[in-house]
């Protein structure tokens, strides 16, 4: 990330659904709690709710689907060009249900975040996303679950954690009730993780994410 000591952190947010985590991040930014700006919202689905969210907040949006391109290289090249167009500092994946092209992950190494609805490394990996995760937690009989904000690397859900928070799993929980409890803390810890980046108080040393105390 370039040295922009007092400049707002420029965020490109990716989503496939309604974008509730993006809405939470925007709420904290607009309240003046995070020195950042969401400069674009990118969706792989044209009817994703996050596209409407972008319109409501006057944020440029892009529908970028791999189906629009003749090969995967053209797809990743276009995604990179859009991110470069907005001088993106940090990529934030918020319910983005496709694996980001490896060229993009490498270009934004250490500058791409994802949120996962469980306490990684438990209940992570390919196929474990969204409510599938909560079903797996319930099937296993786990007593706690939670959410993890982590750095994105080249595999599914294996990057080092930035923030984690627990919630109890109750005996009468359903997938939906557990989902709602976890979603509430997602909306707490994702803005906090972004604030660390915006305040330039985070360093990454291998798998260790160090937060410098003020």
Active site residues per annotation: 116
Q: Helix, strand, coil shares of the chain as percentages rounded to 5?
A: 35, 25, 40
Query: In a 10 Å sphere around its CB, with 0-12 CB exposed, 13-18 middle and 19+ buried, how is residue 60 labelled?
Result: middle
Reported as half-sphere exposure (CB side, CA atoms, 13 A), residue 106 has a value of 5
114 beta partners: 93, 150
What's the first-to-final CA gap in the chain, in angstroms?
Answer: 20
Reported as half-sphere exposure (CB side, CA atoms, 13 A), residue 149 has a value of 27
Question: How far apart (Å, rounded) are the C-alpha atoms in residues 201 and 213?
Answer: 7
């Amino acid at each position: 990330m370039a040295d922009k000591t007092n400049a707002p952190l420029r965020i490109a947010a990716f989503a496939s659904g309604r974008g509730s985590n993006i809405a939470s991040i925007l709420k904290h930014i607009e309240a003046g709690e995070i020195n950042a700006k969401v400069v674009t919202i990118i969706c792989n689905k044209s009817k994703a709710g996050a596209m409407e969210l972008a319109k409501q907040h006057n944020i440029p949006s892009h529908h970028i689907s791999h189906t629009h391109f003749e090969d995967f290289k053209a797809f990743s090249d276009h995604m990179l060009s859009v991110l470069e167009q907005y001088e993106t500092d940090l990529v934030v994946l918020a319910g983005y249900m496709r694996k980001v092209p490896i060229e993009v992950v490498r270009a934004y190494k250490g500058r791409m975040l994802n949120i996962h609805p469980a306490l990684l490394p438990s209940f992570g990996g390919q196929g474990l996303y969204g409510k599938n995760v909560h079903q797996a937690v319930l099937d296993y009989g786990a007593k706690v679950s939670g959410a993890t904000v982590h750095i994105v690397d080249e595999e599914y859900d294996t990057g080092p954690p930035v923030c984690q928070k627990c919630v109890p799993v109750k005996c009468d929980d359903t997938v939906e009730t557990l989902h709602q409890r976890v979603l509430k803390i997602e909306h707490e810890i994702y803005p906090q993780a972004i604030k660390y980046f915006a305040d330039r108080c985070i360093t990454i040393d291998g798998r260790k994410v160090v937060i410098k105390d003020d």
